Every structure is written in structure tokens, then in C-alpha cells.
Structure 1
Amino acid sequence: MKRYIFFIVLFICLLIPESSFASTLSLSPSAGTFSVGSTFNVSVLLDTKGKSINALQVFLTFPSDKLQVVSPSTGQSIVGVWTAPPKYNNTLGTVSLEGGIPGGIVTSSGVLTTVTFRVKSVGEGIVKFTDKSKVLLDDGLATDDLAQVGNAVFTFRLPPPQGPIVASSTHPDQSFWYQEKSAVLHFANETSGVEGFSYVLNEDPISAPDNISEGTRQSVSYQELSDGIHYFHIKALRDGVWGGTTHFAIKVDTTPPSEFQVELLPNKRTTSLNPIAEFGTTDLNSGIDHYEIKIEPLSREAIQSFGSGNKPIFIEANSPFVLPELAKGSYDVVVHAYDKAGNFREENERLSLTNFTFKIIDKEGIRLGNAVVLPWLWVSIIGGILVLLLAYGAYRTWHWRRHVSQAHQEKVLPGDVLKELDELKKYRERYGAKAIILLLLFSTLFFSGSILAQNTLSVDPPLIDTISRDISNREIFYVGGKTNVSEGSVILYLQNLLTGETLSYEVGSDRNGNWFYRHDGFLFAGEYLIWAQGKDGENFSPPGPQEKIIVEKTAVQFGSNRLSYEVIYLFVIIILGIALIGLALFIIFHYYHGRKKYLEFQREIREAEESIKRGFAILHRDIQAELATIHKMKLSNEFSGEERQREEQLLRDLGDVQKRIGDEIWHIKKETW
């Protein structure tokens, strides 16, 4: 039985991957709660998992605003040789260790160093290893064997009260952040006989007030506190002796998170019905708490897909967020980033879902695929160049065909052929005419037709925190915000800056004071001012701050009908495509018929060439016959001087005719192309 157990254990060990035995670095303790002003030790531990280690590099980071290193101790360490002394930087929050172990070491919890930290302020802090940390095997190759690290999370609090008990009606929980800039503090001592209190408010978490009494009143208030953590320190005087100090934290954050962008993937104009929204930002003081997202339909088809009775709401979301399946149309993806004090930053991005194969971007151009955007300027330039090139090609084709047809119709032979024909006629006139030349018997030429180418102040003014600022005159306008009147009314005013016309709309608020309004039609292009006024029964608030919106003209309106620029661009592209196809067909048609005429003309010219050659052959025969007659006369001594000159002329003409019969006289392609 033991043998079976041994083999099973051996088999399991062989199946465990080698990486599971790799070395680990950890911190001890890995968690804890410590008071501001106190110190605590953190040991860096090494577990080699049964392997021999002979060198290491350890890099730690810590929050420099909450902790500071008193000293890194190397008194108890398995490191035999420090290649560089342990270093720390309280400004950057870093600790670095580099050393070697001659001969190597195998350990399960070897202490590399112990770092002493002092707590500076309240909150949470993480001490962690960086990716540059290494544990090197004693294998002669300096193989990095580090596979896992264990970080530590600590909580830092103020020391327990040693003086009067402090409470706050405006900032009751010391661990929470608040938007309120005014703080009211109440304090009292559990025992009687207090002669006075001394207190101070500053940014030092553990400072002590002076020994000068501020009186016996048991409350104090502070106004216009700056963002950050403020500490209230108080002690009591009893029987001429000052007691211990109580520290109370006040956390104030009135600044919203930093501005950010909402990125839509694969693109903010896409055919995907489930695009992805990515977002993220930071907050200087309290930090980011959560994000909320809302999809606001803008176009009619998008609103219809939501249903007339459904109102989009904010839901909590994390990035990346996969949007629900949406219908074709335009939407605003609105994201709120909340910090831990409740402040929020709103950002939005316009999303357009389209079915077009190519993607038209109203202001930018045409998107090819999902990456390349061709601006409208380049679309116009390229389209114009293509039209000009095709138009030039069409003109050259038409002109060539016209030239061929005209030459064919007017029986116009190439210049060289006409010259040879004239010389042949001159010879025939010199030597007499034998009916030899039926030179130019051409077929009937024809030409096809041409082708045509085509009023009280008890209610606070409502706040506007959600608004569709940059919309087109084919997208729905919306606005929302908060009021201090629950289930009350908000009156919206919308003024057209061009015409001066001002319209008002009334919308109700919910029990939390949230209100929202979506316009029931499209706005005309132009600039508008919008503001809100609260209403509670017969009481009205002063008008709220004005917001300016711009409605861009991305649609042409004909009465009550609208034609979007996207459709106009599509029509232009279709017309351009038809023009290009028409020019291409024009070129093909004229080239085909011109080529046909050209080949026919070539055949007829070759026939003329053969006729001229036959004419010169007959002329050659006649000259030889006449020379034979002259030679007979010469033998009979009847040869005069005039006849001798005649003989010389005949010999010259005979040589010239013989040469011409053998020469190439046609250069048709050069003349006709």
C-alpha cells in the first residue's frame, strides 16, 4: 500500500508544472491598521521553493503622502553581499535592494530586509513590488525565477481621542469625503470642571494646540475650507492642567474629476449594433468612486426604437462597457464620473449607427474601412481628377474616331501614298496610257450617329448638468439637471439668437429633484441660449445661468421635409459614379467603332498599295518594251541624237521604277494613329 502511495505522489509531482515551484516574494505583515504618527515594520520575505538562489533585485513602492521610510534595516538578512546599499526615496515613494548570496541559498521564509515606516496621514496605502524585481537562480545563467509577489495593504487612522469628544454635523464620518466647504464642530468633556478649551485647525494630522484657552464654548465653525484633509486638534483645561489631545479629520472635495474622453469602438460612426464604450479619469483629492452611463437617442428612428414612453436612465458601469443592441440612428453616450465626495464630471460622445457599406462623416469625409478617413477635399480632388482624365480620354477617342471617319469618307490617303500616286500619273502621262490603273475602288464608308454624354426667491435656480451642446438640425435636443424642489416644476427657456424668438417648456422633477426634457422636434440651425427657472406652487426661483448651444446645419429643409447632407453626399457620389461609368462607356463605344473603321481603312489602303505596285510593274514592262524598240533602231544605224537622249531618260526612269517597286511605301499606323 505504501508503495502505491509513493508512486501516486511521484506521479502527481511530475504532472505539476515547473512554474508552480518558482520563487515568491512577500511582505510581512500583509495587512494592518496603524495610527497616524506611529511606526511599524514590514519585512521582505523570500521563498525559493526548493531551488538555489544566489542573487536578487527587489524594488518596492509606497504612497509617499501617507508613509515615510524611517530606515531600511539590513541587520537581519540572508543577503551576504550588497552590490548596492539599500536605498529609499520618501519623495518618490520607492525602496530598492540589490545583493548576492555566495554559494546560493535554499529557504522558505528568508528575510531580505526589514523596513520601518512612519504613518503621515489617514487613509489606505499599498506597499507593493514593481515589475523590475528579480530573483536569480544559482545556475550559471542568472535565470529569473520570480513567479509571484505578495503585496501589503494597510489602513491608517488618527490616534484614539485622549481629550474632549468631537462630533460634526456637517462632516460626521472622518473616513468620508464631503462637498461641504463649511464645517461645524461640537465638543464636550465627559467630566465636569472644564475651565477652557484650546483648539486649532490645520493640515498636520497629529499636531497639538497651544496652551492658550479659547473659552468654554462647546462648538466652532469654519468657512470656505479648501479641498483636502483638514485636522481639528483640541484639548481641555481642568484644574489648571491641560489634558490630552483629540484629533478629528475633515475631508473636503468640491472639485469634480478631471476631464476625459469617451471612446467608442470600433468607431463613433459604425455599422456595429453593439459598440463598446471606453472611459476613465482621475480625481485629485478623494479619488474616483464609480461611473454611470446613459444612452440618449437623438434621431427619430432611435427614439422610436426606445419607445415613446421609455426614458433613458443612468446605470452604473465599468470600462470597457458593451452597449446594448441599438437600432440604426444617432445617440449620445453620456458618462458621469463620480468621486468619493459625490462630485461628478459629465462627458459625452456622439454615436451614429449606419447601414452604409462606406461611412460618410459629415464634417470629415469618407471613412474607408474602420481606419482611413479621406477628407472631403481629397474626395473632391480625386473625383475631379478622375472625371478630367476620363473626359480627356473620351475627347481623344472621339477626336481619333472622327479623324479616321473623315479620312475614310473623303478618300484621303496618307501623304506618302498620294506622292507615289502623283509620280505614277506623271510617268503615265510621259509614256502614254495603257488602261492599267483601277487604283482606288473603295467600299462605301459609313458613320454611325453620335452619342450624348448628363417671480419670488424662495426656490433656488435649477442646475443644468446634462445638455446636448453640439447637435445638428436633424437630431433631437435634450437637457437635464437638478433642482432643490422635489416633485416640483422646472420652466425651460430656449431663445434663438438669430430671430430673437424665445420658447418656454415646463417639465416636472422627481422626488430627488432630478429633471429631464427632450424636445419633440428638430431645431432650426443656429445658436441658442437656454436657461431654467424653478417653480414650487406659486413661487418661482430666479433664472438660472444661461447655457449656449449650437445647432449645425447638416440637413437641407424643404418646408416640413428635410434632406440630410449625408443623403446629398450619397447622391453626389452616385452622380459622380454614373458620370464615370458614362465616360467609360463613351470611350469604349468610340474606341470600338473607331477601331472598326481603322481596320477597314487599313484594308482599303493595302488594296490601293497593291494597285499602285501593279501600276509601277506595268510601267516597268512598257519602259522595257520601248527600250527594246530603241535598241533595234540602234542596231540598224537609224539611231539619232534625240533618240539617244530618249534612251538615257528611259534607263533612268526604269531604274527609278525598279527601285520603287521594291520599296515599302506605306506607313499607315504613323499616319492614322
Structure 2
Amino acid sequence: MSITKNIIGGGVLFLALFLMGSRAEAATLYLSAAQQAATIGDSVTVTVRVDSPDQGFNAAQATVQFPVSILEVTGINRDSSAFNFWLEEPTFSNTAGTISFIGGSTSGFAGKSVEIARIVFRVKGSGTADLVFLDGAVTASDGSGTNILSTLQGVKIVSSATQRPGAAVVTPPTQIVRPPVPSAKLPVMPGITVTLYPKSEAWYNISAPFFVSWVLPADVSDVLAVVNKTPEFTSTKSEGLFERAQFPALDDGAYYAHVRFRNNVGWGPVAHYRIAVDTAPPAGLEVSVIEGTPTDTPSPRISFRAADALSGVEHFEVRVGGADSVITKDTVVTLPLQTPGRKAVLVKAVDAAGNSAESTLDLEILPIETPVIASLPDDVFVGEGGLTVVGTSLPGVTVLLTVKDREGRGIYDTSVAADSIGTWSAVIDVPLRKQRYYVEAVASDARGAISLPAQSEIFTVHERPLLTLFGIDITQTWFFVGLIAILLGGFAAGWVSYRFWKVQVGHRVVIAQRDVVTVANLVKKDLDKMLESYADRTITGREVSEIEFLVKKAKANVEKMEKYLVENIGDIPK
């Protein structure tokens, strides 16, 4: 193995294991062997298979370990593999007891018992050989590279020196010991039941040991039970008396279970039961877009074809992105209307057994020419509507107009047809609330093809003004706000004026009070001196002069007090 292969293989395994668990696990990687009992010298074929009925996959890797003392690998067969390329070719080491591979396919698969490779062993020793997986990964085919592996299941090979060569590990039928009831006629045709394959007309993608059973009448003494590829097989070889028999797992193909009863009269009619096994997915799935890709056709036609050698292709499933699948038996399907952009188209071919192959196509839908929003009105008023939108587009298309708020929520939509030269206009009369909006326009032609959306500039819906002063719009709201402001300002000014007046009055009163007290003290002082001079109740000439002086002084002080009182009281605001 080259260094490059080791690096690539290790990278793929690391990526698969890193992504494991990012989505629901759905696949089982297992080993199966129709012959699980052998003797030394026998060749035993072990098949590596994947069960993934619900999730498509397109790659797998594994390392299988086996006991070198019991088994040795003589070859690995990939002729029937679902994979068509190998990052690491299947290799083995009879020294280390390991088998490894990393393979994939350009198409995806889904189903049970999907074959990956067949390993041919030679039995060289006796004992129980446990074949187990040391590691493994199964990669989803959805482009994510997710590991969808949920279970690893090995197999046991029992080897002995006395086992009959080629014997399969199946349970021998349990023999019934009882005396049969004598009959006068041949036994009836058996009614066959196969639990693993319940419908004889159907195909199945399961390969495992299975039981064939029937109801045993009382007159039967011998039973013949055989499974082979002969539709009308018959025999008279008795295998005993039993009600069911186990058979080993079948390879792909159509088989028939044959059961026959014998009584005392003889052998009765043979019952034949068809068992059809197909574990291989459809091959050669090819998918294309008839119109080509990219295309401006909004409903392109997808063409596909596949072949299935055994059960045949039963139907196709076509899914675009996350939409529901379209199920058809035709090989061409017209997609529903698609929006512009890149789409992943998944086409799955499903055979009659339920196996599937899938392929993903990258489809690009081109938009038609985007319309142009040429103009909007300068003013849009609250609750009035009248939003006139004018624009241009391709001639004859329909333009869908949507008014959206600033969060992108649609408020109102309408449509208008463009004329022969590509002009259009529309009046949106829905009343709008006070907010910021924009208009989105999308064109659609007669085929249903649409354009990318065009967006207008953001416009604001506001109130209609009551008047305009000095180029300023005064709306009803601002008018009442201004009026309230004036009233509040007048009230505040009056209150401040009143407070100032009260302060002034108080100040003048204080000054007048002070002057009255001062003059009164002077007059009182002069009177006290006069009373002091008259204390002996006699008045001398000198005292007369002194009293006269004091009286004049008191008169002057009274006049001064009168003047101060008149001036200060006159200054108090009325």
C-alpha cells in the first residue's frame, strides 16, 4: 500500500469519525456467511454488507480481524460490489490477521444487505473463529460526509475435523414421533409459510438463514422439504416428520421452497413457494436536466435512467432541497415552479426489493430581469394611503409589490401588469401607521419565472401638517405640544413674577420698619431728657432753652420719620 493511499484513507476515516453523531445514525456494517461450519481445508466465503434502508450512503471503510491460527485469506472478490472506486483497495495480511478497505461510489445507495466485498477464507485449523470489526464507518450520500454507522456486527465460523464439508450452521428439523392416522386418500397440498419472506410474489433485500413451516395433518407420516432454483421440483425422498425446516442464507436470485407430504396412501401434491432475493441496488443511474443548467426555465424537466438485473427498477423518487419527494415510474419528471438560485436535486432509483441508488444534481435556476422602482411620493401621511409606486421592468410581466415594515414583515401586497414598453405604476391605498417602510418588487412572467426582489429606499409615514411657518411643517401633534408649552411657560412666568413682588414688598416693609424704630428711639431719647429736666418740678431759664431745643429736635425727628414712611411705603408695589 502506498503512502498516498494511507494518507487519503486515514483522512477519510478521520473525517467520518469526526462527523459521527452529528445526525441520526442509521446504518449497520456486518459480515455474513451462508456456511458457518466447516472442516480443515474447506473454503468459506464471508460477505461484507451494509444495512441502511432509510439513509442513503456512498462510501464505507472498515478493518476486519480474524484468527490466523484457524483461517487464512485466499482472495477478495469485488465483482458484485456496489462500490465502483476504492481509495484503499481491499487488502489483507495473513500474518496480522487483518483485512481493510476504503471504498465508495459516485452514486448513493439505500437498502438492506448491500454487498461491499466477498472475502474467501481457507480453513486451516479447528476451533471457533470470531471475525470482528476493529473499526468502521459508513458515509451518508447527502454531501455532508456524516458517518451514519450505528452497528458493527461480526460472524463466527466453527471449524472441526469431523464436520461434514460444506455444512451450514442451521438447526436440524425437530422430528415428531407419533403414529399417523390412516387415510383413504392422498395427503393435501401443504400450505407454506416463510416468515422472513412472507409474500411469495415479492422481492426481498434480506439475506439470512430462514425457516420454512407448514401445518402438519394427522395422517402425514413423511415430509419432503427442499429449497432450490427449480420452479417445479419434485421428489419422493423423505426427510422425516417435522413441521418446519431451517435453510441457510441465499445469494441473490429466485429460489423455490418445495414441500410435500406422504401418508399411508402415498405422496401427495408438491407445494411450491417462490423466494426472490435481490440485495444489489440499481446500477448505472444517470441524471440530467433536459433544458440544461443553468436555465431560466422555472419548471425544468429532469431526465433519469437506471437498470436493475434482478427485481427491476420499481420507481424513481425526485426531491428538490428539503421539499417532499415526487414518486414516479416515468423517466422524466417536470419539477414544480422553482425560485431563482442553486438547488440540489436528489434522484433515487428504487428496485422492487427496496434497494436504491441515488444521485445528486446541481441545478441552477436563473432569475428574469429585476424590476426597477423609479419613484415614490415625497410625503406619505398617517392613515391616508395614496402611496403611488412607479417603475420599469420587462414588457408584459406581472410585478408583485409588497409594503414591508423595517423588520421585513409584509404589511400589504398587490400586483400590477407592466405595459408593452415595460412601465408600470400602482397606487397602494392601505392606511399606514407612523413608521418606516420600504416597497419590495418582484417580477413574474407567463411561465412563472420570477426575478430577484428589488427594494425601494426607506420612507417614513408621518402626520399631515396643520400649517407651515418659515418652511417648518407644524403638525397637529406639534401644535398641541407648542400650545401646552406656551401655557406652561406663562404660568411659570407669572409664578416667578409673583414671587419677586412678594420679595420686594417684604424688603420695603423691613426698611420702613427699621426707619420707624430709629426715629421713635430718637424721639423717646429727647422726651426722656425733657422729663429729666422737669424732675424737680421747677424750670430754670437754662432748662427752658434746653427743653425748647429738645422739642425742636423731636419735631425734626418726627418730620424725618414722616418723610421716610412716605417714601418707603410709596416704593412698595401696589
Say yes or no: TM over 0.5: no
**Larger relative strand fraction:** 2
Relative to the length of structure 2, the TM-score reads 0.30
Higher relative contact order (CA 8 A, sep 6+): 2
TM-score norm. by structure 1 comes to 0.26
* Bigger proportion of residues as helix: 1
